[in-house]
A and B are shown apart, each in its own frame.
Chain A
Amino acid sequence: MRLMKTLLAASVASIIALPAFAQQQEVIWWDFLAGGDGVRMKALINRFNEEHPDIKITGTTLEWGVPYYTKVRTSAAVGQGPDVMTYHLSRMPIGRSEGVLSEITDEDLETAGLSRDDFFERAINAASDDNGALYAVPFDIHSIVLYYNKSYLEGSEFLDENGNLTGIDSLEDFERALALAKENGSAAPVSYATGDDGGVYRVFFTLLKQQGGDLIKDGEVLPGDSLDKAAKAIEIMTNWTEKGWQPEQAEYEASVALFTSGKSAFHLNGVWEVPTMVDLAETGKLGFEWGAVQVPKLMDQQATWADSHAFAIPQQTGKEMPAEKRQAVMTVIGWMEKNSLSWATAGHIPAYKPVADSEEFGAMEPNATYSSLADTAAYDPRSEIAGVASPVYDAAINIVSPAIHGYLDPQAAAEQIKSELQSKLR
């Protein structure tokens, strides 16, 4: 009888407790973050869930690139998409053309405790359409930086008294440093993923932007003298191959390994490899002193290829998001922004200025050293054929990479990029 009573009491209690559970908002979250990024994001999600008993994020990590964006598009079209998703700002134009992004209103931002002025201007611009309507909330700014191995430069003009990189203000300076490193026994003085779409594209785009060139402008690919500037960029990269300064056909992992194993004096790669270097240095496995700086001004002006991870809310067909859910989603986004300091340990620069300007971030090295690049960040052109895993990336592996290995003359390669991409713009 007592057992009966207990059971009865328990079931009554569970029935009463049910509505409390039902009030908890579940936020379905999709991201494409694997590796070190993924670990940090999962930690953030767990922390959020612990601090918010009323909201529960259920996260899923999907495969980066075309598979991710295809899934987003198809699921949103049938109303089976997530409540919030990570998105590359470089993918905004195609995302908007697909109609899968829901506009983030000022009211939404207010719910999240954010405002547009809290973010770096270039990131907000990349997240908005031509009329200024916002479609995503930038989370970070990530770009390529120049990693360097001090051991090849010791005693030269390229290290100052504190052992930091100095004196690289032009292409000639940089190439002199490469020649010096070669003399000092560096097998591949500047390593980057020369046989990989992203690696080649980021360097190519940076060199193009530093000359003031445009990849796509007003629906035209490499307009005006940008064609010659693109050729010039390819010519520089080809020269690095010919001089034996950069590795041939290096896949991404190989290009990183060349630097971490001490064979390269310089390494052009994304900030996301910073944790790799930090961890190796901490455990004493790196074997040399390293640093990372903003890509120096090699051409006419300062510019670096950059992209942002951002949060977006899918526009789902036949499914309007209830106001409470939207509130929960915006709460998640706001919390993530305010806690993006731990995201910065993955090398990224927080797009949220209160964190980027904070003392803690200022003390975080080498991020603080290169964070100045946020002001001259060059985002991908605003075009449906540009951005992560786009035809522009395909052109990098299809045309630029073989060209810099001597299979095609730089001018002809630039012309092929122009005609190929132009035909995709129809």
Chain B
Amino acid sequence: MATHYNRRKHLAIAFSLVAPFVFFFCLVFLWPAIRVVELSFTNGPLIGEGEWVGLENYRRILTDNLFYTSLKNNGYFILLTVVPTTVLALTIALLVNRLSGRLQAAMLALFFLPYILPVSVVTMIWTWMLDFQFGILQPAFAFFTGKPVPVFKDPYWVMPMVAVVTIWWTNGFNVLLFIAGLRNVPQELYEAAALDGANSRQQFRRVTWPLLWPVTALVLTLQLILQLKIFDQVYLMSEGGPFNSSYVLLLMVYREAFQLNHGGYASAIALVLFVVIMVVSVLQFQVLKVRGAR
């Protein structure tokens, strides 16, 4: 009897503790999410009721050229960012890890600094540095290509440059994750490897890399999810142009919803993006786990 009473009391306490979270979760996440699904089957505007149209919105997505362009650009952006930023972060982490004390902290802070900037500040800095007429980086472009390049107005340069800005902005966090991972590798392993005559390259390949793999897999997955959701940088720097060469799925969602007032269609695209992110990231994580287990 007493245990029964205790259990009920426990449950009551547990419930009262999670209740605030559950309430807000349902209010600001679950309910809107359900509404998005509902909305995606209607031709409704952003606010107000629409008519049920079944799978019409999804059918339309499949025939929308802009959707395929956006999907392709999202894929291109993933290629440009996920692996490069991971490699770069690992390299920086390895270098910073060799420093010690104050110097290491200072370097780490330096690399982390861009991450704390709001995206609007980041894009403002870079659009000025890359400005066609006055950009401080334009002489470098002129040196290599022979003339200044309006990078965000050039169909070939735009995505790579958005990727560069994004990597510069977000790399610090990945460096931090790698540093944490590196600190977890026991020092004795390096000593033992050194005793066995392993050189530094062998130490990296046989000790650091395998033990760091869980962190690497985590960084890759986080980056994949994050970079699939690209919107701000494109919206602020290139507006999807030129010739849609930087048009991405979230920009399409934004324009359909807020510019054209097509709430239903925008919801459908958003859901497709959600499914894409889920499938790709689960797949990637599984693949990485298999590799790591080898």
The smallest C-beta distance from B98 to any residue of chain A, in angstroms, reads 44
Contacts of A136 in B (CB 8 A): none
Find residues 36-91 in chain B having any chain A CB closer than 8 Å to their own CB. 45-48, 60, 64-66
Assess whether B259 is in contact with A249, with CB atoms less than 8 Å apart.
Answer: no
In the assembled complex, the CB of B127 is this many whole angstroms from the nearest CB of chain A, namely: 9
Q: A250, A402, A426: which has the most chain B beta carbons within 10 Å? A: A402
Option from A66, A398, A401, A423 in Cβ contact (under 8 Å) with B259: A66
Is A74 interfacial (CB 8 A cutoff)? yes
Cβ-defined contact, A73 with B46, below 8 A: yes
- Inter-chain CA distance A250–B153, complex, in Å, is 11
- Give CA–CA (A261, B178) in the complex, Å: 52
Residues of B216-257 contacting chain A, CB below 8 A: 239-244, 255
Contacts of B258 in A (CB 8 A): 66, 70
Bound form: Cα–Cα A339–B260 in Å: 35
A391 at the interface (CB under 8 A from B): yes
What chain B residues lie within 8 Å of A384 (beta carbons)? 260
Known: A74-B47, A397-B241, A416-B243. A385 touches B260 (CB 8 A): yes
* B132–A248 CB distance below 8 A: yes
Q: B48 contacts which chain A residues (CB < 8 A)?
A: 77, 317
Task: Label chain A's interface by main secondary structure.
Answer: helix
Q: Which residue of B lies closest to A97 (CB)?
A: B261
Q: Cβ of A423: which chain B residues have Cβ within 8 Å of it? A: 64-66
Q: In the complex, are the beta carbons of B241 and A398 less than 8 A apart?
A: yes
Chain A residues closer than 8 Å to B154, beta-carbon distance: 402, 407
Decide if A394 is an interface residue (CB 8 Å cutoff).
yes
- For the complex, is B139 an interface residue (Cβ under 8 Å from A)? no
Give bound CA distance, A73 to B258, whole Å: 10
Interface size of B by CB at 8 A reads 25
Are A402 and B242 CB-contacts (below 8 A) given A74-B46, A77-B47, A195-B150? yes
- B141 nearest CB across to chain A (Å): 13
Q: Using C-beta atoms within 8 Å of the partner chain, give the interface range for chain A.
A: 35 or more
Whether B133 sits at the interface, judged by CB under 8 Å, is yes
- The CA-CA distance from A196 to B65 in the complex, in Å, is 25
Q: What residues of B have a CB within 8 angstroms of the CB of A66 in the complex?
A: 258-259
List A residues 22-74 near B (Cβ within 8 Å): 66, 70, 73-74
**Residue B181 at the chain A interface, CB threshold 8 Å:** no
CA distance in complex: A70, B133 (Å) = 33
Q: B243 touches which one: A97, A317, A391, A398 (CB < 8 A)?
A: A398
What residues on A are CB-neighbors of B261 within 8 Å?
Answer: 73, 94, 97-98
Asked if A5 is at the interface of the complex by the 8 Å CB criterion, the answer is: no
- A391 with B259: in contact, given A195-B150, A398-B242 (CB under 8 Å)? yes
Is A168 close to B, CB under 8 A?
Answer: no
Beyond A397-B242, A402-B153, A424-B260, 19 additional pairs, beta carbon < 8 A = A70-B46, A97-B261, A195-B153, A197-B239, A249-B133, A254-B133, A394-B240, A394-B241, A398-B239, A398-B241, A401-B241, A401-B242, A402-B155, A402-B242, A405-B153, A407-B243, A420-B244, A423-B65, A426-B60
